[in-house]
Amino acid sequence: MTALRIATRRSELATAQAGIVRLLLKQLGHEAVLLPVDTSGDLEAGDGKERWVDAIVDALRTGKADLAVHSAKDLPADDPDDLVVAAVPEREDARDVLVAADAAFLANGLPRQGARVGTSSLRRAAQLRAAVPGVDIVDLRGNVPTRLRKVASEGAADIAVLAAAGLKRLGLEPGTVVPLEADVMVPAPGQGALAIQCRTDDRQLRAVLTSIDHRASAVTVAAERALTRALNGDCNVPLGAHATMAGDIVHLTACVAAPDGSEVIRGSAESEDPVHAAHTVVADLQRDGADRILDAVRAR
């Protein structure tokens, strides 16, 4: 049997995530190997989610890879006709967490006044500023281990804001970790989920991948991506979206926040149809001025 080729970014987290899918396939009797790829986002600075998947998508289209594993939050909300998200394995914790160099930098589960909080995310910074007026946000970049090191030993910040799922998948257990619930910090659309992509016309592989698809995870991610698509959102705007599922009902919550934290617009809806839930929330957000905030951010 020819081993399936899984395209992935080279980062430690991306490799770990692709390894999770490789193991799932192996449990079904399908051998797979990882094909590390350098994307534009890995090689140079710039904007746009497409930069984090461009070379991976090329590997699929040219037949160098059979499937690709993405962090769902890095995947553009629009799917090209020739590629499809064929499976979303069971989602990890979607929440953001605060990782503090010392518990003294925290108060009641939030940064203490005067603590320096490191993040390069507009979404995270805006919601933290709304929750803790006057919080000191500092730019903190790099992969997960790098950001942890910068906080723990280099003093670049007192607290880092990270995705809970990334810490778990890397097996990292920093000393002081405080989860942020969605009423304080709405996660990024797709956070905590993996998206397995393949060629649309590869029906044999799509049938295999169906076996590792987790329905609730796939439906909730579909709701979040539909909302992102309707708002023309990407990783450079302060947009959060998080869906959960109870039975057949999708509950979707989303927010758009002014970068300075002065305004946070929230919306939520329930529906059996994830796209309907997304459009309902989008209508509420737009009614309350979300487009005004997003347009101002894009014009900067």
Q: Which residues are known to be catalytic?
A: 74
Residue 164 neighbours by CB distance under 10 Å: 20
User: What is the Cα–Cα distance from 68 to 97, expressed in whole angstroms?
Assistant: 27
Non-local (6+) Cβ contacts of 196 within 8 A are 21, 67, 68, 69, 70, 85, 86, 87, 88, 89, 209, 212
Structural contact between residues 106 and 178, judged by C-beta atoms closer than 8 angstroms: yes
**CB-count burial class (<10 Å; 0-12, 13-18, 19+) for 112:** middle
Q: Which helix (H) or strand (E) holds 162?
A: strand 159-163
- Strand order in 249-257's β-sheet? 239-246, 249-257, 264-271
Buried/exposed 134-157: b ≥16 CB within 10 Å, e otherwise: ebbbbebeeebeebbebbbeeebb
Using CA atoms, how far residue 213 sits from 2, 194, 205, in Å, is 22, 10, 13
Measuring CA to CA, which residue among 99, 266, 123 is closest to residue 187? 123
Q: Which single residue is written with the structure tokens 């990782």?
A: 99
